[in-house]
Structure formats: structure tokens, C-alpha cells
Structure 1
Amino acid sequence: MKHINFSGLVCAVLLLSACSHLSAVDNTLRQPTLPDNWQQQSPYLAVQDDWLSEFNQAGLSALVEKALNKNLTLKQLAYQSQIEEQQVKLSGAYIWPTLDLSLSQGRGKSVEPTSYATTSSISLDLAYEIDIWGKLSDSQRQANLSYLAQKATFEQAKQQIVADVIVAWFKHLSDKQLSTLYQARVRNSEQNLDIIEQGYQQGLNAALDVYLARNDLNSERSRLSQQQANERDSNRALQRLVGEYPDAQLNIESDIPFISASLGKGIPSELITRKPELVASWYQLLAKDAALAFAHKQRFPSLAIGASLSDGGETLSDVLSPASLAWSLIGRISAPLFQGGSLKANEKIALLSLKQSEQAYLDALYSAFNSVESGINQEESLLQQYQATLAARDNAVIAEQLSFEQYQSGLVSYTTVLDAQGRSYDAQSSLIDLKNQLIANRVSLHIALGGNFSTTQLSKSEN
């Protein structure tokens, strides 16, 4: 067989096309303009890691660990990470040569004259595309970046699951405390009704007071029934998060802490490398850039070589004889000449997809900053509301006691008593709700700032 000059073949291909594609990512995105400080300026403190321990709740860490290992949504993302990992291996395989072996044997019949023939064949084929433009490398780079993006997405999902479990834990606690408070309201209304009815029988109270007391009792019973349903719902929601629905019975007994300690917020520029969501968005952007490079190089000529070793005969022993084997070595250049504009359209689609990802990255970046700013502002507002409501609760409890004493002395009507009791219980309910809101907002701030929920083995969930 005639010798093929592969060096000349490569040079010929080089003359047919341009150099490889450079990155098309907007350079301003690599060093975006970021604020030096948060709008709600506070003394610089490093972002807190291991923030799960801040809530100091017995049993919460164990429940979080269950969620990390059993939550169904997290398991789906873990499998997606494994799929992306296999995609990396798959893209890497295209860079290597392929070697295929085929062995066949058959028997046929011919007519006039009738005869039978047995045929056997064997073939060993080697094929290899030389990655002169780096096209296959771009494909592998895209797969690697997609895998890194998925890993960062999985890490963000883990943090969000932890946050959801904590919020659901305290939501259930607040629902239980509200149920206890509403039970106390029912008992108080029953006692009031008993006192009013006794006074009515003695001619001391009007019939209107009896009807008002009965109406108040029925309203409180209705409110209690609704709150108990809310408590059961929050318990089921927590079961779902930890992956133990519908069999788990979560009996949580604890107090809701008052979160007032200052939180380290770091500086805005740290957020880009600390928050997994932004890291994932950046890797996705770079993956789209690699996809554009691949689509661009699809329009270039390709250079491939192939080798084949084959033989045929009537028996397997014939085809396996080294003396009769035939071989061939082939070099091939192929270049797309006309494909109806599909290659150009694919490159344009890849470019537009890259530009779309640039905007998605900017959107994620500024949304992250906005989430931090909103969380800081909300925490300050909730703390002010809590202090004001605490003072209102103390005054309302005193007013409730005084109003009932004055009613028994005939100084005020029973509607005044009902109004004072309503204010007292509303203030107590608001305090429970505000403490729960403070915790939920603090958890959201931790997520927005990108702090790690744990520095222990708890963060190493199973995939």
C-alpha cells in the first residue's frame, strides 16, 4: 500500500481554516462592578460558618442530617451530579481512538446448480480523529464545567434544605405554642361565661353579656380548631422535608429562642466566591462559552485516520491465519461545504445562549445582593416590632386584669372586657409569630450570605 504523507495532510488542513475560537464571555463579567459596603452599613464582621449551632436546639442537628440523607429532592440532584460526572467521562472518551473487532460466520445456498457455501470473516478497525482545532477538548471542557456547576447547585440545594428544615422546625414549634395559647383562651372564655351566667341568674348581669360571652367562647373554639389543623400540617411538612413521611411521628418540645445577636455580613465582594448559587451560575456561563467554541469549530475541516485488519475464508481457522490477513491505513480530510446553513445557525444559537447566560449570571448576582440587603433591613424592622409588641403585651395583660375587675365592680361593660382580652391574646400571639419571623429571616440571611451551615461531618451528606 502506498505511504501517506500525514504531515502534508495536516498542513493542508491548517491552510483551510482559521485559528481556534477565543472566549466570547464579556470581560466586564469577570470583574463586575460591586458595592464596597452594604447599604445598611454595620461594622465589618466575617460571615458566620457553622450557623446551624446558633439556634441551640436539641434534636435539630439530627433531623437536619436525616434530611440531607433522605430528602427526595436532594436525592434527585445527587443523581443529576452523578449523571454530569459520567458526561465528563463520556466527553473524554471521544478524544481517544476507537478500536472495534467484528467476527462473523454464515452459510448460504445458491440455485442452479444447487450448492452450499460457508463464509467466515474477521475485522479489526481503528479510527481516530485528530483534534487539531481543540474541538473535542472544548466538548470535554463544557462537560467539566457543567459538572462543576451541578456540584455547586447541589451544595446550594443542601444549604436550602437545611434552611427549610430549620424554618419548618420553628414553624411547627410556633404552631404548637399558638395551640397552647388558644387552649388557654378557650379555658378563659369558659370561665368568663360561667361567671357571667352565674351573675345573670342572680340578676347582676344583663342577658346581652351572656350572649356576648357565649359568642366569644365559640369564636375561640373555632380558632383553636383551625390552629390545631395548622399544627398537624406543619408536622407533615417537616416529615416530608426529612424524608420520613408518612410514617414519622415528630414530637418536638422546645422553646423558640429570641434571635438578637448581631450577624457577620462580610463585604459584598466576598459573595461571588462564597455563595454556591453564584458559583454555579458562573460555571454554567463558562460551559456555554465552551459550547460556543465547539459549535464554531464544527464548521472547520476535520482530520481522521483509520486502520483496518481483516480477512475472509470458509472456516474460522482460515480467517485467523496470520499469513492471509489484509491491512489498510487511511487518512481522511472532511470539510462541510453545504448544509443549508445549519452549522452557522447552530453557532448563532450557541452565541445567543451564551449572551442569555450572561444576563442570567448578572440577574443571579444582583438578586443575591438584593436578598442580603432585604434580609438586613427586615431583621432591623422585626427587632423594632418585637420590642414594641413586647411592651404592648405587658400593658395588655395588665389592662385585661383591670377590665375584668372593673366589670365585676360594675364600672365597665363586658364589651370592654372582651376588647381587653382580645388585645392581650393578640399581643401574645404576635410575639410568638415575630420570634418565628426573626428566626426565618436570620436563616434566609445565612443562605443569602453563603455561609456554610456546618463545619463538621454533618455537611458530608450521602450522594
Structure 2
Amino acid sequence: MIPSRVLSITVCSALAIMIAGCSSTADNQASYYQTAETSLQQENQRIFGESTAQQSGAIDLADLIPDENLKTLINNALAGNPSLQQTLLSLKASELGLVSTHADRLPSASASLSTSRSEGSDTEFSLSSSVSWQLDIWSQLADAEQAATKSYQSDVALFRAAQASLVASVMKSWLELVSSYRAIVIEEKRLALLETNEALIIQRFRNGLGTLESLDEAQTSTSKSRSDLAEYKETLASNKRALQLLLGEQQSSIKNYPTEYPDVWLDLSALPQQDLALRPDLQAAYLAIEAADYNASVAYKEMLPSLNLSASLSDSSTSLRDALFVSPVWSLLGQLSAPLFQAGTLKANHEIAKLEVVQSYQSYRETLLNAVNEVQNAIGQEKVLNTQQQHIQKALTSARSNRQQYEQKYRSGLVELSDLISAQQAVFDLEAELDTLQYQQLSNRVDLGLALGLGSSNT
């Protein structure tokens, strides 16, 4: 009676401690979750206001540029990019790790068969089998499984983030090809005109109508343009190699790309949902908080008593059949154990686990702040680039009109050739600047889509 009563008291005391500990852990958990969700809602409200769209349907990042050739390259990149494939293999390994964690909650069984023989005696067969099971009285194993599940879900979200980042990189590299090609076209037009002007200056110089300084200036401008053109062509080749690297290809399959900028659709009011919670990196950070909380609970329950059941079956005989099937000896054991002294190791592990919860929360805050910064920067860039394009377009219109006037005056002998060349150069400079601004705006729209959480449906 006395041992049974002592055992009951011990179990009840442990249960009371467990309830108090679980309550404390749950309070901390709810506090961090609530704080994280409140911070997210506040940032959504601050950025998007009350006009958050709630339309049905999903939009992929690739849908921003409706080009079939580009979508083919994106699919090739998702299937062949080595870095993404490494992440996928790590994710599959993490998924298999869930099987091991789940198995800890189930009974384990083992069996062995051995033979022995000594001089003057028959061979003896010995059979033993055992089944053991740790009763999850404190839900410690369940918490460990939940922690592993949350960690795996976080890995899944990070993989989706890697997919979205790769898609954005392919799209921006695609736009860079167009930008490089257009830079070549503009420079070729400039060079053709400079060569024409140089030939005219040489002819005038031979006729005694020009100066050596004008000839030197013309040759300098022509040589500079040839140098720039060579650089632009190498930039185009380099961009092709960079895109090839993203695709994970040894030989380039890039054959067709547009020579004009495609439309990059982006209408915030038409997006299915404006919510930073769509970002997979934020989802991963939130799941990491959950995983850390479960791990802290596991670390606390390591200090509580554990109950194990084990059953064994054994026999030995000179006959293998008798050893297997005739009158085996069985035993059943229930064992209650509790840690008494481990020099503060378990308590320290629990404190470390609680610090990791706080660390996960701070990591979530950092991810949220970065997300807000990326969205605000992209929105700000969209506005300023649009304004810059309007001003440069007006300047280009004026420069073209000015060039026409200088051409007419030069034919009438009212201005020098150098003045006409300066007017022509101004047009080419503004065309190149406007083209660069257009590329920057389209590339920024891809960044904005990525910052808003648009991803890839190819999972």
C-alpha cells in the first residue's frame, strides 16, 4: 500500500508541475503569436490602408510578363537550376525526417536468434524478442512531432520563397537582354551618324573648309562610340550567359527574345489580395516561432518523470522449433523514471530553448521589417521612375525638334557642323537614358510583385 501511495503522490505532483509549466509555455506562445500577428496587421494597414482588394483567383509572378517564351524559360529554370534542386532535395530529406519523429511515438519491437555449441553438447538455439513503448503522458513526444512538422512547413515556405526569387531573377534577366539589345541598336544608329559626319568633316578638311580640331573631335567621338558598341555587345552576351546559368544549362537554349520591352502588368487594385502574409519568407519565419515554442515545451518536459512499458519473450532449446514455438518465457515491465541530478543540464536546455523562441520572434520581426522596406522602396521607385520618364520624354521631344532646326540651319549655312553634331548627340543620349529608365521601371515592377508575395504555382 505504501509504495503505491507514494507512487500516486509522485505522479500527481509531477502532473501539477506539468500543468503549471504548460500554462506558462502556452502563455508565452500566445503572447509571441499575438504580437507577431498584430505587427503584421498594423503594417498591412499602414501600407495598403482600407482599400485592400479581396478578389478571387491567384496571380503568379510570371503573369506580370505575358510571354510564352519567357514562361518556357521559367519552367526550365524551376526544373534545372542546381541551387533550387539542392534546396528541393534538402526539403525531401526534411520530409523523411518526419517519419522518424512520428515513429518515436509508436512501440518499437526487436527480435534476435542466436546459436551456440560447445564440445560434447548439441547446438543450442536461443530466441528473444522484446517490445518497448514510452507512454506519452505529458505529450512530450507529440510536441516533438509538432516541432518537426512546423520546421518542415517552414522549410516548404522557404523553398517557395527560393522558387519566387528564381522566377524574378529569370524575368529580370530576360528584361536585361532586351535592354542590352536596345542599347546596341541605339549605339549603332549613333555610330552610323558619327561615321557619316566624320566622312563629311574629312572631305571638308581636304577642301580646306574644316579645321584639324574638328577632325580630331569627330574621330574621337567615332572611336568612343565603337568602344561603347563593343561593350554593349559583350554585355548582351554576358546577360545571355547569366540567364543560361539560372536555367542550369551547359549549352544555351535562348534563341528568341523580344527586341522591344514587353508590357509588365502591375495594378495594385487588381491584385487578388494585398497582404504581406502572402510572402513565403514571412510564413516561414512565423512557423519557425511555432517550432521553437514546441521545442521549448519538449525541453521543459525532459525534466518530468517518464513512463516506459516493455515486454520480452525468450527461450532456448537444442531444437530450433522448440525455441521458437514451445513454452517461451515472457515478462512484462513498467518503469517510471525521473531525472534527479544532472548538474542543471536539463534546466539550462530549457532556458536555451526559451531564448530560441525569443530569437525566432526577433527573426520574424526582422523579416517583417525587410518586407515592409522592400514594398515601400518598390512603390517609391515606381512613382519616381514614372515621373523621370515623363520629364525625359519631354526633353527628348524638345531635343528632336531642336535637331531638326539645326539640320535646317546647317543646310542654310547658319550654324556650324559641330553645333549640329551636338544636337544629334543630345538626342541619342536622351534616347539611351529613356530606355534605361524604362528598363528600370519594368524591373522594379518585378521586384514589387515579389515583395508583395506573388510567387510560382509550380511546386
CA distance in 1, matches of 2:249, 2:298: 45
CA distance in 1, matches of 2:171, 2:252: 20
Do 1:38 and 1:267's aligned partners in 2 also have CA atoms closer than 8 Å? no
Q: Tell me: CA distance 1:409–1:267, structure 2 relative to 1, closer, same or farther (3 Å).
A: same
- Aligned AA (1:312): S
- Aligned AA (1:307): A
Superposition pairs for residues 150-229 of structure 1, below 5 Å? Answer: 150-229=155-234
CA distance in 1, matches of 2:42, 2:420: 57
Do 1:40 and 1:376's aligned partners in 2 also have CA atoms closer than 8 Å? no
1:31 matched to which residue of 2?
A: 38
Displacement, 1:401?
A: 4.4
Q: Identify the match of residue 437 of structure 1 among 437, 440, 444.
A: 440
TM-score under structure 2 normalisation? 0.88
CA distance in 2, matches of 1:150, 1:207: 69
Displacement, 1:316?
A: 2.5
- Aligned AA (2:113): L
Does residue 312 of the first structure (1) align with residue 316 of the second (2)?
Answer: yes
Q: Identify the match of residue 344 of structure 2 among 304, 325, 341.
A: 341
2:381 matched to which residue of 1?
A: 378
TM-score under structure 1 normalisation? 0.88
1:388 matched to which residue of 2?
A: 391
Q: Identify the match of residue 131 of structure 1 among 133, 136, 156.
A: 136
- CA shift digits 1:187-224 (9 cap, x unpaired): 22211111110110011111111111111111111111
Q: Tell me: CA distance 1:428–1:344, structure 2 relative to 1, closer, same or farther (3 Å).
A: same
Q: Tell me: CA distance 1:409–1:117, structure 2 relative to 1, closer, same or farther (3 Å).
A: farther
Superposition pairs for residues 222-301 of structure 1, below 5 Å? Answer: 222-257=227-262, 262-264=267-269, 271-301=275-305
Q: Identify the match of residue 353 of structure 2 among 327, 343, 350.
A: 350
CA distance in 1, matches of 2:446, 2:8: 60
Instruction: Considering fraction of residues, name the structure with more helix.
Output: 2
- Between stretches 7-16 and 172-181, larger displacement belongs to 7-16
Displacement, 1:56?
A: 2.8
Q: Tell me: CA distance 1:331–1:44, structure 2 relative to 1, closer, same or farther (3 Å).
A: closer
Secondary structure of the equivalent of 1:320? Answer: helix
Q: Tell me: CA distance 1:207–1:438, structure 2 relative to 1, closer, same or farther (3 Å).
A: same
Number of corresponding residues: 445
- Aligned AA (1:309): L
2:454 matched to which residue of 1?
A: 451
1:112 matched to which residue of 2?
A: none
Do 2:95 and 2:152's aligned partners in 1 also have CA atoms closer than 8 Å? yes
2:104 matched to which residue of 1?
A: 94
Displacement, 1:364?
A: 1.2
Instruction: Give 5+ residue unaligned stretches, structure 2.
Output: none
2:94 matched to which residue of 1?
A: 84
CA distance in 1, matches of 2:8, 2:231: 78
2:152 matched to which residue of 1?
A: 147
Secondary structure of the equivalent of 1:59? Answer: helix
Secondary structure of the equivalent of 1:34? Answer: helix
Displacement, 1:350?
A: 0.8
- Aligned AA (1:98): S
Do 1:313 and 1:319's aligned partners in 2 also have CA atoms closer than 8 Å? yes
CA distance in 2, matches of 1:170, 1:259: 10
Does residue 367 of the first structure (1) align with residue 370 of the second (2)?
Answer: yes
Displacement, 1:439?
A: 1.1
Q: Tell me: CA distance 1:186–1:363, structure 2 relative to 1, closer, same or farther (3 Å).
A: same
- Between stretches 249-258 and 439-448, larger displacement belongs to 249-258
